[in-house]
Amino acid sequence: MKRAIGVIDSGVGGLTVAHELMRQLPKERLIYLGDTLRCPYGPRSKKEIVQFTWEMVDFLLEKEIKMLVIACNTATAYTLEELQKQLNIPVIGVIQPGARAAIKVTKNNRIGIIGTEGTIRSRAYAQALTRINEHIMVTPLACPLFVPMVEQGILAGQQAYDIVEKSLIPLRSSEIDTLILGCTHYPLIKDIIQEVLGSEVSLISSSEETARETSIILEWNHLLNDSEEAPKHQFYTTGELDIFTKITEEIFHSKIENLQTVMIEKAVIC
Amino acid sequence: MKRAIGVIDSGVGGLTVAHELMRQLPKERLIYLGDTLRCPYGPRSKKEIVQFTWEMVDFLLEKEIKMLVIACNTATAYTLEELQKQLNIPVIGVIQPGARAAIKVTKNNRIGIIGTEGTIRSRAYAQALTRINEHIMVTPLACPLFVPMVEQGILAGQQAYDIVEKSLIPLRSSEIDTLILGCTHYPLIKDIIQEVLGSEVSLISSSEETARETSIILEWNHLLNDSEEAPKHQFYTTGELDIFTKITEEIFHSKIENLQTVMIEKAVIC
C-alpha cells in the first residue's frame, strides 16, 4: 500500500506530528499541507475552521491519500466527526490520542489541558476524557499567545519563558499530575513548559500519541506500507516558505536525512 | 453497548491486562478466563496452544462478548491472525501494542524482548517490530523461570531477585535502551527487573499498552459502553481458586472495590 498518509494543519505545528510519523512509521510516505497563510485557526469561527479544513482535505484527496491525519487540535475539535462520516478513508485527529494517553498516565485523575481558544471553547478534550472515565477532573486553559510565538520562530530564551510562565499561572492551584499539550505547536516549547511546571507534572504530546494511533489504525485497516523503497515525502504550505523552512529544520534537524529532497509548493486553494 | 470485553490468558498473568482495562476503561465490563489448570503455555507445542486458546474463546463467545483481548503473549503469537480472521468481533493481542510502544520510546533503536520460550521461538515480536521499522535491532531472551515463579506467588524477596538477575545476564552487553515485558506475568515483577537493569532501560508493559489499544479499537468500532451503570466483572479460572485469589488481591489490592463481588467458577472446557 504505497499511497501516502495525508497530514493537515493550520500551519507548522502539525510538523511535530509529521516528525513523529516519520520516526514511528519510517516506511510510510507523507503529504503534508500547512495552511500557514490563514494561521492561527484558534481564534476563528467554527464556520471558517470547517471551510478551511475542507479546502485542505480536498487538496489532499486529489493526491489519493490512504488515510488522513488532522494534525491540528482546533480543526479536530470542529471537523473530525464530519470527516470520519464523509470520507471513505480512515481519519484520525489529535484529541482522542492525547486524551487516551493522559488517562493511561494520570495517577490522581486530575488532568490539565492547554490549547488555543477554539480548542478549549469546543470542550472536545473534556468530552473525550469524561466519555471514557467520568471521574477525571479536567482543568482547561487557553494559551492564545503560544501559537503566534511559535509561528514567529520564538522557541527558547527569556521572552519565551516569560510568556509561558505567565500563561500557566492559573494551573498552579489545580493539583494536576498530567498536562495534555492540546496543540501541535506546543511540543516545540515543551522544555519550557516542563521547566515552568516542574517534573511532577507529566506532559502528554498529542503528536507522539497521534503517530502511535496512526500506526494502529493503518494496521487495523491493512494499510501498512510493505514496500522496501524509502518514502519520498511532500510538504506544502499556503504561505511564505521562510518560516516554514526554519521551523522544519528546527523540528527535523540532523535526524531527518531527506530534508533536502522535500518539495515545498504553494498549494492552490480556491 | 453493554456487552462485555472477553479477556483470556493461560493463567493469572492476564489479570495485569484486566487491571489496566478497568483503570483505563472504567465503564467497560470484563469477563476474564484464565486457564490456570494448563498453565504455563510457554513450553507447549503450537498445536496445544491453538487448541486450548480456541476452547477458551468458545467459552467466552457463548457469553456474547463484543471484543476479545488475548492477554497472553504465547497465545497471541500462535492464534491472533486466525482469530482475527474467523471471529466477527474485534480481536487484539498483546504483542503489537507492546511493539508499537517500544518503537515510540526507543532512542537508539535497540529493543530487548523477554518472554516465554514459546513467545521468543515464534519471533512474533521481532516481526512486529521490523515490519514497522526495519532498522530496529532486536535482542530476544526467553526467561522460562519467570511464569512458574509468579504463578507460585513469588513476587518479591531475595529468591525472586536472584532468579531475575541470573536470567537477565545475557542482556548486559546488548546496549538496549528499551525492554518489552513480553509476557503479561512480568509486570508483577517489574520493580525487580528495573532494579536489575537500572533506570537507563525503559520497560514497556504490554498490559498497559494493550488496554490503551483496546480503548482505541472499541472507539473505532463504535463499541464503547455509554451506560452510566457501574460494570460488574466476572472472573473464571480452570484451576484452583487459592493462587488465583492471592494474585488477584496482589494486583487489584485496595484500588479495586468490587473484588468481593467477583464470581469465580470452574469453567467447563471439553
CA distance A209 to chain B (A): 9
- Cα–Cα distance for residue pair B123/B111, rounded to 1 Å: 14
- Cα–Cα distance for residue pair A202/A161, rounded to 1 Å: 19
pLDDT confidence of residue B1:
62
In the residue annotation, A39 being an active-site residue is answered as no
Residues A110 and A89 in one domain: no
Which residue, A158, A187, A206, sits at the end of a domain?
A: A206
Mutate to test the interface with B, among A17, A111, A136, A220 (most CBs of B within 10 A): A220
Residues A109 and A198 in one domain: yes
Nearest to A73 by CA among A160, A9, A135: A9
Mutate to test the interface with B, among A76, A104, A218 (most CBs of B within 10 A): A104
Q: Is A32 left (phi over 0), alpha (psi -120 to 50) or beta?
A: beta
Chain B residues near residue A226 by CB distance under 8 angstroms = 131
Chain centroid to CA A112: 17
pLDDT confidence of residue A260:
34
CA distance B173 to chain A (A): 25
CA angle A68/A114/A112 to nearest 5° reads: 110
- Cα–Cα distance for residue pair B101/A167, rounded to 1 Å: 32
pLDDT in tens, A75-86: 999 999 999 999
What is the percent of chain A with per-residue pLDDT over 90, rounded to a whole number? 61
pLDDT in tens, A22-62: 999 999 999 999 888 887 887 888 898 999 999 999 999 99
Kindly report the pTM of this predicted structure. 0.82
Residues A54 and A149 in one domain: no
CA distance B40 to chain A (A): 29
Specify whether the CB–CB gap between B41 and B74 falls below 8 A.
yes
Residues B242 and B262 in one domain: yes
CA distance A174 to chain B (A): 22
pLDDT of A126 strictly over 80:
yes
Mutate to test the interface with A, among B220, B228, B255 (most CBs of A within 10 A): B220
Cell of B78: 500462535
Residues A23 and A124 in one domain: no
Contact: A215, B132; criterion CB under 8 Å: yes
* Spans in chain B with pLDDT lower than 50: 254-270
Q: What Cα–Cα distance (Å) separates residue A66 from each residue in A14, A63, A157, B236, B263?
A: 18, 9, 40, 42, 46
Q: What is the DSSP string of B97-160?
A: HHHHHHHHH-SSSEEEEEE-HHHHHHTHHHHHHHHH-TT-EEEEEE-TTHHHHHHTT--SSHHH
* Count of structural domains, chain B: 2
Chain A residues near residue B219 by CB distance under 8 angstroms = 96
| Cβ atoms within 10 Å, residue B227 | 12
pLDDT confidence of residue B266:
43
Residues B141 and B224 in one domain: no
Nearest to B189 by CA among B241, B95, B114, B253: B114
Chain B residues near residue A211 by CB distance under 8 angstroms = 104
Residues B43 and B19 in one domain: yes
Give the domain range for residue B156.
95-206
Contact: A212, B135; criterion CB under 8 Å: no
Chain A residues near residue B101 by CB distance under 8 angstroms = 212
pLDDT confidence of residue A95:
94
pLDDT of A263 strictly over 50:
no
Residues B87 and B168 in one domain: no
pLDDT confidence of residue A101:
92
User: Least CB-CB distance to B133: which of A26, A104, A133?
Assistant: A26
Burial class (CB in 10 A: 0-12, 13-18, 19+), B22: buried
Residue A100 belongs to domain with CATH number: 3.40.50.1860
- Cα–Cα distance for residue pair B130/B153, rounded to 1 Å: 35
Contact: A211, B104; criterion CB under 8 Å: yes
Cell of A263: 518539495
Three-state SS at A188: helix
| Cβ atoms within 10 Å, residue A165 | 14
| Cβ atoms within 10 Å, residue B110 | 16
Nearest to B74 by CA among B55, B102, B93, B92: B93
pLDDT confidence of residue B264:
32
pLDDT in tens, A146-167: 988 987 888 899 999 999 999 9
Contact: B104, A24; criterion CB under 8 Å: yes
Residues A107 and A169 in one domain: yes
Contact: A220, B219; criterion CB under 8 Å: no
Residues B129 and B89 in one domain: no
Which residue, B159, B184, B206, sits at the end of a domain?
A: B206
Mean pLDDT score of chain A: 88
Chain B residues near residue A133 by CB distance under 8 angstroms = 24-27
Residues B44 and B85 in one domain: yes
Chain A: residue nearest B128 by CA? Answer: A219
Residues B64 and B84 in one domain: yes
State the catalytic residues of B: 72, 183
pLDDT confidence of residue B269:
46
What is the percent of chain B with per-residue pLDDT over 90, rounded to a whole number? 61
Chain B residues near residue A26 by CB distance under 8 angstroms = 132-135
Q: What Cα–Cα distance (Å) separates residue A6 from each residue in A2, A20, A50, A119, A231?
A: 12, 14, 17, 22, 13
Which residue, B206, B239, B258, sits at the end of a domain?
A: B206
Tell me A3's DSSP state.
P
